[in-house]
Amino acid sequence: MNKLITIETRDLTKRFGNFTAVDAISFKVYEGEIFGFLGANGAGKTTAMRMLCGLLTPTSGQALVAGYDIYRQPNQLKAHIGYMSQKFSLYPNLTARENMTFYAGIYGMKRKEIGDKVHSLIKSLGVEKYSDMQVHNLPLGWKQKISFMTAIIHNPKIVFLDEPTGGVDPITRRQFWDMIYEAADRGITVFVTTHYMDEAEYCDRVSMMVDGAIAALDTPEALKTRYSVASMNDVFIQLARKANRSAV
């Protein structure tokens, strides 16, 4: 592969007291890639992701994200990433349009630019009729799509999605993944955590976290071949079974 590296970690570690949530993980993510970050609950996915976003300070190790050191240049880094948290992160009493406008605004986009962008996003999502409803009235699936749109509204180099499809139906999940592909086609690197193993199949490459460490990292095809199983689900079960840490 001759692609540019957008995320590179070296022995990235996070300890909370005696508990090592993330244990010296090292990996590379290439530009425009959809990188699946899998693991059981409590395996350390969210912690790792938060470090990469500059939300948590690593205990040791290094990471470069979009060319910036997460430890030394968190502020420059923040302008170039998008983040969709596990918790639902839109303001319920604002409309979809207002939410997008707000997030675009705090990334310092110009007013004209925001108007055009929001308009085109709403159009491409096909949510015109919902766009002026307050978000708390919308179905979960729509909220998550809008969340995703707000996370990439400022054209980040990388977007981090923390379990973006939790709790939504398969059709909406499929549509959500279409949006992810579209973003990746536009050159945005997608870093996504999930427990849905069918979603793992959609990723270009996946890493499997077990007990805070990366147990496997490859394309879904290669992983299935290596463990001689038919689906990512079986890969996951084989690897997760080795875990000592019980799910939290």
Partner 1 sequence: MRVLTAFIKKEFWHVLRDRRSLTILLGLPVMMILIFGFALSNEVKNSSVAILDFAGDDVSAQIIHRLNSSQYFDITHRLRRFDDLESLFRQNQVRLGLVFPANLQDDLIGDGEGAIQIIGNAVDPNTTNTTIQYVSAIVADYQKELWQTQEIPYQIDVSYRMLYNPQLESAYTFVPGVMTLILMLLGTMMTSVSIVREKEMGTMEVLLVSPMRPILVIISKAIPYLVLCFVDVLIILLLAYTVLEMPLRGNLLLLLLMCILFVLTTLTLGLLVSTLVESQQVAMFLSLVGFFMPALIFGGYLFPIENMPEILQVISNAVPTRWFYNILKNIMIKGLGFEYIIKEAIILSGMTFLFLVIALKKFKIRLM
Instruction: Enumerate binding residues for partner 1 (CB under 8 A).
Output: 16, 50, 53-57, 74-75, 78-79, 81-94, 98, 101-111, 134
Name which of 99 and 194 has its Cβ closer to partner 1.
Answer: 99
| DSSP conformational letter for 118 | H
CB of 215 to partner 1, least distance (A): 25
Decide if 7 contacts 65 (C-beta within 8 A).
yes
Kindly tell me which of 54 and 220 has the beta carbon lying closer to partner 1: 54
In the bound state with partner 1, the residue whose beta carbon lies nearer, of 98 and 218, is 98
84/184 with CB nearer partner 1 = 84
| H-only helix segments in 15-73 | 45-52
Least separation, in Å, of the C-beta of 243 and partner 1?
24
Return d(Cα 204, Cα 220) in angstroms, integer. Answer: 7
Q: How far is the CB of 4 from partner 1 (least distance, A)?
A: 22
Instruction: In angstroms, give the least distance from the CB of 241 to partner 1.
Output: 30
152 and 131 Cβ atoms separated by less than 8 Å: no
Shortest Cβ 194–partner 1 spacing (Å): 18
Residues present in the chain in total: 248
Residue with Cβ nearer partner 1 (87 or 241): 87
Contact between residue 86 and residue 164 where contact means Cβ atoms under 8 Å apart: no
Integer Cα distance of 215 and 239 in angstroms:
7
CA dist 2 and 24 (Å) reads 26
Residue 89 or 155: the one with the smaller Cβ distance to partner 1 is: 89
DSSP string across 176-233: HHHHHHHHHHTT-EEEEEES-HHHHHHSSEEEEEETTEEEEEE-HHHHHHHTT-SSHH
Residue 95 or residue 205: which is nearer to partner 1 going by CB?
95
- Cβ at position 82, least distance to partner 1 in Å: 8
CA 35 to centroid of chain Cα atoms: 8
- Residue 6 and residue 52 in contact, taking contact as beta carbons nearer than 8 Å: no
Compute the least distance from the CB of residue 246 to partner 1, in Å.
23
